Each structure stands twice: as structure tokens, then as C-alpha cells.
Amino acid sequence: MAGRVPQNVWEAARHALELMLTCGTPAAGFVRLRCGTCGEQKVVAFTCKSRLCPSCGWLYGQRFAERVRPRLIGGRYRHLVFAVPSELRELFFWERQLLPLVCHAAAAATLEFFQKRCKKHELVPGIIATTHTFGRDLSFHVHAHLLVTQGALQRDGVWQPVRFFPAQEFRRRWQYHLLTLLRRQLPAEHPAQACIDGLFQQYPTGFIVNVESVYNNVDRAIKYCCRYLARPPLGERRILEYDGEYVTFEYKDYKAGGRRGKAAPQRRHHWHAQHLVEMLLQHVAPRYARNIHYYGLYRTQVWRKWFDQVRSVSQYPQNVGGPQTKPLSWRERIIKAFETDPVACPSCGTSMVVVEVRGPPRRRASSGPLQLPLPLPAG
């Protein structure tokens, strides 16, 4: 049964499911609080911290946005989506170590596009990228999301706006860089090499790239970071009904209604809960896999140095980078969201103190079958 998905995904899926089943319960560990005034006690259970969990995945996205905010230059941003053709989906399904190549190829195509905008000077934009394996209907559909500045820094210290992103030019560059990276990465005798050679002739205009979405300011770009760069495959708000056996959720069908969200009709799936879990677990990333990548101005090694140059030429230097803010604690988040202090005694209102901390039990490594089949979905 475990052989029906890659072994590293199988292990990560088992671990993620075990965490989700205990999320928010004492089995995940807890903190016991006691009021020093009236003796009232309260138990606060730990969450699972898994990105696959709808609630914890949303929190991960919020924290990521807080962490990345100082690295974003104020201004307009373009949201680019690079789709991998269906002929390569099975390759990426079984060989998940190749998924970072999707981001690298999309970033290479974008950086090359900027270089062609100015022949005299090298242009360096800011790029944040991630790879998704899930479509809105939870099918296995590999694509890359890129958040790109609508402008770039010249090497001589001049900021050059770039507002025209021609889709056809991106399509050909995206196809070339993706197939070239795969050719170099895979062994010469790999069966996919023959498929790669044929894709240049099969797609003469290149692979699909969506370049239409624009964010007019950095705040909207931050919301994008939460929504796309760090979101789980299925958010809680998309789940309409669960009767104990079947789950109903909705999604937008962009193939039927165009690319714009308003034009796409709403579709619904009514699945057995086990089938839904099967579809979710196939999108689990291998443990410790890096899924968010930075390029250009946002590269970890150089962003501070280049931000100083951008700040010196910007008309609004206050919008260029800044000190990293401290993320909100769980107590501060609850107070902000619900206007209730979780540490306050429910009887007298006095702040309670921690009297016991119990972590989750150590889990034994298990190689037995997970009680859920994980088939490869049809392409």
C-alpha cells in the first residue's frame, strides 16, 4: 500500500495525519494554568503546527507574512503563475525532489525577461516563489506562484519601472528553462528524457503562464503571501457540509469560466471523508522540504545590501525594507481576534500562572500501512 506514493511523502503524510488527529486536544500536550487568587485552574492544549491542518496552516501563513514583510519593497507587484504540462505531472508525483526546479525555472525565465528590458544595464527585480501541487479541486496539478516587483534595480543604482509583461514571451522562456533543467537533472537513461524532447514540438508556443494579476501596493501583496505562498490545499471556509461520512466543498472552475475569479463558476464536490483525506495527503511535502524561494533583490545573501541602494534612489525610502517586527504571541493573537485574554482567570480576572507543562508523547517510527489508500490520480 505504501508503495503507491513516494516513500518520503508516505512518511510525511503519516506524520501530518497523526498530528492533525490530536490538534487542540490534550493528547498533543498542554499547559495547565492556575489562578493565584482563587485557585481556579484551566488547561490549554497545544496545536499540531502542521501546514496541512486548515487552522494551523492558516496561522503559518499569517506568521510567514509577518516575517517576510520587512523584505518587501513598497510598490506595485505582479502575480505570475507558471503551469507544468500534464505530461510531466507523473514525473513530479513520484520524484518530489524535482519540485524545486519548477521555482528555479520560473525565476530564471522571469530574470531573463527583465534582462531583455534593458540591454545596457543588468536589471535585478525582487521575486518570491513557491510550488503548489494541488489544484482547486485537489487534483495533482504542479504549478509555480511568483510574486514579482513591477520594476527592477539597475546595477548603476537606478530604479527602472517595468509594467509590461507579455504572456507569449514568458511562455517560451518558461518552457525552455523548465525542460533544460530537467534534462540536466535527470540521468540520460531516465524514461522521461524522451518525453522532454517531444514537448518542444508538442507545445510550439510554450507552456501556459498567467501574467494578469496585479497588486497596486505592498499590503495587497502581503495578503497574497498569506493566501498562496503558505496556504494548505483546502481551507476551512471552502468546506460547506460534513454529515459524519461525506464532505461537501466548493471551488472555482477556471477552465469553464475564464481566468478571472468573477467569471469562473462555482463547482462542488461531494466526497466520502476517506476519499477527501486521500486527496489531501497526496499533496504533503516531504519532511524538511523547502517550499519558498527568494531570487533577485530578495535573495537571503544580498537583500540587505541591495535594499540600501534601492532606498537611496527611491522617492519613498520609508517604503523600502525596515526592521523585522516581532511576531505576535498566541496570547496576543487571541486578544486581537476575540478581545479575550486566554491567561485571565474566568472567575476573578487575575492573570493565571503556569503550574504544569506536558509535551506530546514520543511517537515511535512506524513502517506499517496507514489505514488509507493513496492512489495516483488520473492526469
Confidence of residue 277 (pLDDT cuts 50, 70, 90): confident
Hey, where are the domains in the chain?
1-59+329-379, 73-233+283-320, 238-272
Span 181-187, mean pLDDT?
94
The candidate with the shortest Cα–Cα distance to 167, out of 206, 200, 129, is: 206
pLDDT given for residue 230 in this prediction? 60
Lowest mean pLDDT among 53-57, 131-135, 275-279, 297-301: 53-57
pLDDT tens digits, one per residue of 240-272 = 888 889 999 888 877 765 544 456 778 888 999
**In the predicted model, is pLDDT for residue 49 greater than 90?**
no
As a whole number of Å, the end-to-end CA separation of the chain is: 20
pLDDT given for residue 98 in this prediction? 93
- The SS3 assignment for 277 reads helix
Span 330-357, mean pLDDT?
84
Q: How distant is the alpha carbon of residue 270 from its chain centre?
A: 25
Residues forming a β-bridge with 128: 147, 294
- Element holding 212 (H helix, E strand): strand 209-215
Q: What average pLDDT does the structure give for the chain?
A: 81
Confidence of residue 306 (pLDDT cuts 50, 70, 90): low
Lowest mean pLDDT among 3-17, 32-46, 86-100, 280-294: 3-17
**In the predicted model, is pLDDT for residue 300 greater than 80?**
no
- Ordered strands of the 292-296 beta sheet: 209-215, 77-83, 140-149, 126-134, 292-296
CA 159 – CA 284 distance, rounded (Å): 40
At a CB cut-off of 8 Å and minimum separation 6, what does 83 contact? 141, 142, 143, 207, 208, 209, 210
pLDDT given for residue 372 in this prediction? 39
pTM above 0.85, yes or no: no
